[in-house]
Amino acid sequence: MLRLEGIGKRFGGLTALSGITFSVIEGSITGIIGPNGAGKTTLFNVATGIYPPSEGAVLLGEKNISALPPERRARIGLVRTFQNIELFGKMTVLENVMVGLHTQSKCGFLACSLRMPWQMSEERRIREKALEWLDFVGIPDLADVEAGALPFGKGRLLEIARAMALEPKILLMDEPAAGLNSRETAELAELIKKIRDLGVTVALVEHDMDLVMDICDQIVVLNLGTMLAQGTPREIQENPEVIAAYLGESED
């Protein structure tokens, strides 16, 4: 589904990533783990087009998407969430999800300003769709709340609903469990599985090992910008190099 080929990224003289090559298999959940500073978030930024890669290619299906800007990648099904949830704080929860439906609606400047009849019906359609997605993540009652006022855990759910509204082929989640308590994390695990069951491929960066080992089919380990290992959760847990890399760093 998503394939990264020899991805490298340098900032000035600093090499953040080099020679990253792996595939995310369609319909699976792939976890990307690694100590702090391993380059996980940078990898997501390259994959979603926020940074251009210094070298290598990003492929979605058969298509090389390395040169596409983020909004184009979103349109063809590559969507992400952020580590420090990036909600549209001054808009309501429902409106946030409706922005997620941007790619599935098309009324432009003219139709919107003139309030054409087809614009009205499109508006109704995306409103209902947005409510369905809020329902999907379990926060339909918060539809009219301002997104900036949400507690962190609910904000995370909203971000997932907003991303799902794009009906992605693949969803990249950057530390979805960060800042969640254990009950919320457990609910999140269920939600991620539910997303996978809808046929959406998931890749996530995560520090919470229990979560990763529980839900992932495949794990990629990064260390200092390079790939350390790749395999099933079982293989990774027994990999001596991975253990060494993690023991070198104090648990946080």
Partner 1 sequence: MELLQFVISGLATGSIYALIGLSFAIIFNSTGIINFAQGEFVMLGGVLTICAITLLKLPLLAAILAAVAGTTLVGIIFERFAIRPLKNATPLSLIIITIGASILIRGVVMLLFGKDTQALPAFSGTTPIEVGSATLLPQHLWIFGVTILVIIGSRLFFHHTITGKAMRACSFNRRAASLVGISVWRMVLLSFVISSALGSLAGVIIAPLTMTAYDVGVMLGLKGFCAAIMGGMGSGLGTVLGGLILGILESLGAGLLSSGYKDAIAFFILLLILFVRPQGLFKKGETERV
Partner 2 sequence: MAKKKKVALKSDKIKFLVFCLVVLLAPLPFAKGYLSNVLIFVGVNSMLALGLNLLLGYAGQISLGQAAFFGLGAYGSGVLTTQFTMNPWLAMVLVAVSVALFAFLIGFPVLKLKGHYLAMATLGVGIIANIAFNETVDLTGGPSGLSGIPNLSIGGFTFDNDLKNYYLVWGFALVAILLSLNLVNSRVGRGLRAIHDSEVAARVMGVNARIMKVQVFTFSALISALAGSLYAHVVTFISPTSFSFAVSVELLTMVVIGGLGSVYGSILGALLLTLLPELLRAFQDFDIIVYGLLLISMTIYLPGGLVRGIPELFRRLVPARRGNA
Among residue numbers 212 through 231, which ones bind partner 1 (CB under 8 A)?
A: none
Which of partner 2, partner 1, none does residue 11 bind to, with CB < 5 to 8 Å depending on kind?
A: partner 1
SS3 223: strand
Looking at 10-18, 83-91, 192-200, 208-216, which segment touches partner 2 (CB under 8 A)?
Answer: 83-91
Tell me: does residue 152 bind partner 1 (CB under 8 A).
no
Tokens encoding 115: 């309030």
Residue from 6, 89, 151, 199 that binds partner 2 (CB under 8 A)? 89
Complex with partner 2: residue 132 or 217, whichever CB lies closer: 132
Residue 114 has phi, psi (to 5 degrees) of -90, -5
Among residue numbers 93 through 152, which ones bind partner 2 (CB under 8 A)?
A: 94-95, 98-100, 102-103, 105, 107-109, 112-115, 119, 122-124, 126-128, 131, 140, 143-144
Cβ atoms within 10 Å of 88's Cβ, excluding its own:
15
Q: In angstroms, what is the minimal distance from the CB of 113 to partner 1? A: 24
Q: How far apart are CA 219 and CA 31, in angstroms?
A: 5
Query: Residue 152 in contact with residue 57, Cβ under 8 Å?
Result: no
Burial 218-242 (b: 16+ CB within 10 A, else e): bbbbbbebbbbbbeebeebeebeeb
Nearest to 237 by CA among 225, 219, 217, 211: 219
Tokens encoding 107: 């009324």
SS3 69: coil
Q: In angstroms, what is the minimal distance from the CB of 79 to partner 1? A: 20
Q: How far apart are CA 140 and CA 1, in angstroms?
A: 31
Q: How far apart are CA 98 and CA 91, in angstroms?
A: 10
Tell me: does residue 230 bind partner 2 (CB under 8 A).
no
Looking at 2-10, 64-72, 204-212, 223-231, which segment touches partner 2 (CB under 8 A)?
Answer: 64-72
Tell me: does residue 82 bind partner 2 (CB under 8 A).
yes
Q: In angstroms, what is the minimal distance from the CB of 108 to partner 2? A: 7
Tokens encoding 13: 């003289």
Q: In angstroms, what is the minimal distance from the CB of 102 to partner 1? A: 23
Give the contact letters, 7-46, x = binds to partner 1 (CB under 8 A), - = no: ----xx----------------------------------
Query: Residue 215 in contact with residue 54, Cβ under 8 Å?
Result: no
> Which residues contribute to the site for partner 2 (CB under 8 A)?
48, 50, 69-71, 74-75, 79-80, 82, 86-91, 94-95, 98-100, 102-103, 105, 107-109, 112-115, 119, 122-124, 126-128, 131, 140, 143-144, 162-163, 166
Q: Where does this chain bind partner 1 (CB under 8 A)?
A: 11-12, 50
